[in-house]
Structure 1
């Protein structure tokens, strides 16, 4: 997977503070007061207007992925009735180059066996599933995360239901420290190679491509870290448990990774 390019954004902010005062015993009749001189605004300056535009990107980057999941039924078109374990196992079977004996994530296959009833759930790489409408069709979509052994990466996936079939509309693998759902956007946080900074990548639904597309990549100073709210999740990876629906912007914690990108 190509390394992400950090977005560098320069913001120029000009502020004017207006103060008003009410009448008082001191005889102040109120009104506007100047806050001092305001820096002159500097408009954008176009550099190298004669530069020949690039005809192709510097390197390939998959801004969207879309794939119909084979072998997993959606009872009543209700994505909450789909077993997340079946969904991940379907991916393992469909991509032997990644998960086979010589694949980058080969150890994930054996670890997924621990997600079944009666096994060692502490070794199960699958994280709690979350349900929220990310595609705007009024129905909940499924967001999954699972560790990709033996690497320090985490796979993040989003699924929706179309024409009675389960469709994967986002697939991203990265070293991840957190994932947030903000409205209909999914935001991934990943460690940067400089202490006190992180990458923050935003994915949003694109009706034209029928997939979650990469929309923003930020390189942010976080200091001692930030924490958001945690959305409701189904209590386990078993579809038999009654699911809950998140309704507010949220931040499910994902197992931290030791190294950067």
Structure 2
């Protein structure tokens, strides 16, 4: 292997090359002023005598954590858990949401088509994804399923703790797409103005041992104008409610009546 040139020799060669280039361009290489430096302005605190609020303006679940009952985890490997069993366990645990008069009652009938012999086109369960979101070195389960008859999609994340399946994220929204970026989950939802969308980020919080609400953004995504008909508003999170990464995207939503409940943005 040839010897590495001394750093001083490399520096001299670089200076000579730069000088030759500057001469060829008729530039002496002298310093040039960048103009007047703007004066730094500190943030102005408005209404310093305003009485602080003693409670939040509205409730918002920043994290959800619940043990899933009735679903075993063979060998503590979450890949051995049947996603259909997981969704059916949620349905059984929340009859108010999934009962005959519940907002998502249409999901119950369609779940039968997720079993062998059923019509897969009617199954509301989306493809499951496995990735370590909790940082324990083991894969976690990210599920999505449609909430009929609304246009919403349920997004859930599960991990395994103490030989039990634990739900660490539960959110319902009108979904454009879902992305996994590192240990974060990002939901994209339609805004009420065309050309804009909401992006909500959930990240693993070791203190709460759950995926916690981290950021809610209102982003411009392209040209558009004010829509005449606002898009259906998302419902609140249910509480018992990125190298490029795979995304969870729900299929195009059919024309269905929106849910009557809405979550604050």
TM-score (ref. length: structure 1): 0.79
Instruction: Find the aligned partners of 2:25 and 2:188 in 1 and give their Cα distance.
Output: 54
Report the counterpart of residue 123 of structure 2 in structure 1.
Answer: 124
Question: Number of paired residues?
Answer: 222
1:105 aligns with 2:101: no
Instruction: Find the aligned partners of 1:38 and 1:221 in 2 and give their Cα distance.
Output: 31
Report the counterpart of residue 140 of structure 1 in structure 2.
Answer: 139
- Secondary structure in 2 matching 1:45: coil
Report the counterpart of residue 249 of structure 1 in structure 2.
Answer: 245
1:190 aligns with 2:186: no
- Secondary structure in 2 matching 1:54: coil
1:76 aligns with 2:72: no
More divergent stretch after superposition (55-64 vs 150-159): 55-64
1:59 aligns with 2:55: no
Instruction: Find the aligned partners of 2:174 and 2:138 in 1 and give their Cα distance.
Output: 30
More divergent stretch after superposition (30-39 vs 42-51): 30-39
Summarize the Cα distance change of 1:24–1:209 in structure 2 as closer, same or farther, 3 Å threshold.
same
- Secondary structure in 1 matching 2:46: coil
Instruction: Find the aligned partners of 1:98 and 1:201 in 2 and give their Cα distance.
Output: 23
Contact residue 99 and residue 106 of structure 1 kept, 8 A: yes
Gaps of 5+ in 1: 1-19, 226-245
More divergent stretch after superposition (50-59 vs 250-259): 250-259
Summarize the Cα distance change of 1:36–1:74 in structure 2 as closer, same or farther, 3 Å threshold.
same
Summarize the Cα distance change of 1:192–1:44 in structure 2 as closer, same or farther, 3 Å threshold.
same
More helix by share: 2
- Secondary structure in 1 matching 2:50: coil
Report the counterpart of residue 92 of structure 2 in structure 1.
Answer: 93
Instruction: Find the aligned partners of 1:203 and 1:41 in 2 and give their Cα distance.
Output: 35
Contact residue 144 and residue 248 of structure 2 kept, 8 A: no
Larger radius of gyration between Structure 1 and Structure 2: 2
CA apart distance, 1:23: 1.9
Summarize the Cα distance change of 1:133–1:247 in structure 2 as closer, same or farther, 3 Å threshold.
farther
Q: Deviations over 1:208-246 (max 9, x none)?
A: 111111111011111069xxxxxxxxxxxxxxxxxxxx9
Summarize the Cα distance change of 1:61–1:26 in structure 2 as closer, same or farther, 3 Å threshold.
closer
